[in-house]
């Protein structure tokens, strides 16, 4: 029987479906030595962002050769040493289609929050304050949205931006095809022309920040920046500096360099809207992730058999 370890949890419907198909699914979250010991007996490891699949875990799995598949329930695989896994005969898959709409909607939620100061007025209202004149915002209509990266999620964001009457420009190293009204341009052009900038790019360990001090300097004064992609693509120290000097009017972060974040200059900054990495945390997205995992497992092990 194929043994699957859902180490960071999985929707019950998906677990039940896998069990019904004849797979054994282990649901306990294991860490440290417990995970290293159990991985030798697992055929398929399913993780979210909590479990790190690094060299030591891969080496232990490779000692028996039983582990053949690692699935990341989500888009990014930066918590998995994918190249090293492949070198050791372990396939790595993600579920790229499942959470695109959820993250796109989160991006728009943050855009609205920082442009209309919803994140602030919600808090002060609960403190008994009625600061109606303090929270004058700005409309999205007629503004230019710049997207850095133009994969599935960014394209969903672009569709919604057009419905809001925004002009969409984007930069992507891989995209050359036409995508509706969105205009492909250079990274520098996006940074210099956009009123709102949203990041939709992966984090690559060991590489420099995508948005650093020099990128902030290119941007318009009073720009808004949103990151619902990955922590580590924005230099948080440079972000604070850009907010303090007025370059950035507001920022929205669902992801951070360190999670949970400990930088109080980020946590307590009134110009930053914060959420705890919940871009894909919707009922619908989790259901779709479960469906994709089932399909990946079935396709992989049916081929093996």
- 167 class by beta-carbon count within 10 Å (0-12 exposed, 13-18 middle, 19+ buried): middle
Q: Note the residue count of the chain.
A: 305
Asked whether the predicted pLDDT for residue 216 surpasses 80, the reply is yes
Listed by start position, the domains of the chain span 3-98+283-304, 100-274
Q: CA-CA distance, 246 to 174, in Å (whole number)?
A: 33
Domains 3-98+283-304 and 100-274 share a fold: yes
- Is residue 259 among the annotated active site residues? yes
For residue 75, the model assigns a pLDDT of 84
| Candidates 230, 236, 288, 292; catalytic one | 230
pLDDT in tens, 160-209: 999 999 999 999 987 655 567 889 999 999 999 999 999 999 887 778 99
For residue 179, the model assigns a pLDDT of 62
For residue 279, the model assigns a pLDDT of 94
For residue 177, the model assigns a pLDDT of 58
Q: Where are the alpha helices (DSSP H) in 39-145?
A: 55-62, 82-87, 100-115, 118-126
Statement: 100-274 belongs to CATH 3.40.50.720: yes
Total-model pTM = 0.87
pLDDT in tens, 51-62: 999 999 999 999
Cβ(122)–Cβ(96) under 8 Å?
Answer: no
pLDDT above 90 coverage of the chain, percent: 90
CA distances to 177, 192, 229 from 159, in Å: 16, 22, 18
Tokens of 136: 């004058």
- Phi first, then psi: give them for residue 88, nearest 5 degrees: -100, 20
For residue 178, the model assigns a pLDDT of 56
Cβ(74)–Cβ(49) under 8 Å?
Answer: yes
Tokens of 89: 């005969």
| Candidates 87, 131, 259, 299; catalytic one | 259
For residue 275, the model assigns a pLDDT of 98
Average pLDDT, the chain: 94
List the CATH code of the domain at 3-98+283-304. 3.40.50.720
| Candidates 3, 152, 277, 291; catalytic one | 277
């Amino acid at each position: 029987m194929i043994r699957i370890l859902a180490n960071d949890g999985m929707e019950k419907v998906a677990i039940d479906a896998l069990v019904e198909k004849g797979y054994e699914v282990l649901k306990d979250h294991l860490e440290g030595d417990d995970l290293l010991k159990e991985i030798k007996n697992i055929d398929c490891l399913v993780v979210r962002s909590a479990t790190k699949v690094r060299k030591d875990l891969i080496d232990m799995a490779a000692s028996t050769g039983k582990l053949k598949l690692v699935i990341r329930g989500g888009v990014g695989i930066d918590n998995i040493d994918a190249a090293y896994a492949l070198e050791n005969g372990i396939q790595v898959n993600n579920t790229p289609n499942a959470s695109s709409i959820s993250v796109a909607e989160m991006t728009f939620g943050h855009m609205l929050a920082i442009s209309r100061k919803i994140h602030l007025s919600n808090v002060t209202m609960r403190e008994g304050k009625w600061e109606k004149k303090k929270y004058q915002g700005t409309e999205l209509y007629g503004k230019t949205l710049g997207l850095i990266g133009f994969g599935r999620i960014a394209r969903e964001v672009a569709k919604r931006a057009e419905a809001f009457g925004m002009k969409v420009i984007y930069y992507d190293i891989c995209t050359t095809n036409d995508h509706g009204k969105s205009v492909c341009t250079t990274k520098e052009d996006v940074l210099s022309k956009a009123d709102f900038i949203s990041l939709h790019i992966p984090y690559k360990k060991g590489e420099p920040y995508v948005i650093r001090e020099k990128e902030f300097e290119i941007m318009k004064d009073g720009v808004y920046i949103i990151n619902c992609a990955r922590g580590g693509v924005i230099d948080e120290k440079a972000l604070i500096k850009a907010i303090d000097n007025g370059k950035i009017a507001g920022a929205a972060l669902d992801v951070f360099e360190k999670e949970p974040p400990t930088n109080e200059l980020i946590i307590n900054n009134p110009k930053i809207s914060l959420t705890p990495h919940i871009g894909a945390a919707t009922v619908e997205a989790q259901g779709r992730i479960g469906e994709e995992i089932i399909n990946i497992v079935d396709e992989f092990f049916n081929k093996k058999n």
